[in-house]
Structure 1
């Protein structure tokens, strides 16, 4: 039996690992000698991470929760490493599979290699080239000690090859986040805010902001919100607010009749809003992927992106963090000149199946 330990540390990780678990379950039904153990490091405490969340994604509760939430970057890294070392020693594995770029991804990869367990990285090779982002440090460290890379784009493949990774280690499979999106799209759920605000398809804008560059500096956040309000005509602005952003907004006393701050939404509710929005204004990398696949215009308030395919092929534009740069992009949006987007190679719902097909080649090696 080929045993895989799958690591998830934050809510978005579960969207990425859900289709992998489904593909493993399918392989087991086909009498492939493969099994998995799901380990939640507990890196991010999320009150919405309930049984219903796992039920929506159609995955079982994690086999283990290491409960390593809170603390500084270093404290959390150390806590995850110490806890996961005990977990992996008690439950040996043939392969530790990590996803994305959170602290858990990097910490568990290091532990696995020190225990002489091979590592596979789903979303390997993506880069923002911005070392001020903790995620970029996590990517660099993880990829430097990974054995097998499951990639989302040819750009990632080229990055890995340029860093010395051998071709036989790289498997271009697509995007498991999109596997989940396409599978769950028929199940998107109308949130309460839809009726409360009398929203109409294509007639409102969704906002999400959480990155320190946008929300930690109060004047920056105020200027950005002011620019959004000033350049979105009369459309409602729906802003599911991250808790840390909510505290800053409260201090700034920002309010406007068109700006509607709401509690964070479930995965199915949030994507219902995104799918029907005129546009999304965000600083989230994952949302740029989902918006591009759903052909929704996306304005990214960052100075760099690790997902360039959402710009070259998708519906995303990199606006930057200077609030003054937002106006021409919104003018283009309201003029009806936004790009329609194209299909992104292998972002087709089959990434997890391709991962397991490739993993089968490792069995009995």
Structure 2
């Protein structure tokens, strides 16, 4: 065991290197040498605040906190009491309504009510009469005039604007035919607007019949309505030159026809036919539509080659061996389709009866597309 002498020898410990920088020094430094030393024991600061006032404010804060807690508790208690009263009132109302519903009295049905089964049979006749009267009124409204009558001044203005293109004049509409499509100008009675609607005519157009339908795209027809006639006329002119109804691509035009051969002769420049000749073309086309072919004027086709070879055989001339190869290269006449006739101005006519078909000339063209 360690003795007291051994324990005392601990305090006599000496390090092996007394100059070790890590070893703390046990010597006391002078106060004058330490620049950062500051002793606040020599200074005394008096407070400008009254200590009694501070204590009073602290007491007030404590009292206010207590009052706020009491208010919160009181409001919660009052809310609970109100909710209990509300539930009791609702329960009382439910019990009262249940007592009112449970009655031992015999209730008779209302004699004037339509829910009464006796009234349902008795009033059936009157209800049927009311329905009949309603349907009659609806029929009258439907049969009403859809189009208003145009004034003479309005009709005259339309005729003077389009002149030879006018093909039909009535009190309610004026129909115009321009190249492939036509246009119908009228006034609607429902919205009191002037309307222009694009129209499609049959092949070939007959000036006497004027069969046409409105041009539809999907579920809507091509037309515009305006409150003034001037705007409607301007829109008609715009539709004649632009869009689907104005930009017509023609394949070629009719330059002549042959009733014996059932042929149309086509070229780049259209031939203007008189009304009498155009009427013959219309009749011939309707009677022989499936047999009529279109032959290019001044262009040799397989039909011309076959006729030439036939004529040479009759005269005894020799046929070139290249004729068979040439026949394979030449195209036959095409079917007559998309044939549209339209009126043009007659330079010899000086009158103003433009609706008369005899006072115009007519051209026929083949459209490239429908």
TM-score range, shorter chain: under 0.3
- Give me the TM-score of the superposition, normalised by structure 1: 0.19
More helix as a share of residues: 1
- Give me the TM-score of the superposition, normalised by structure 2: 0.19
Determine which structure has more spread, i.e. the larger CA radius of gyration.
2
More strand as a share of residues: 2
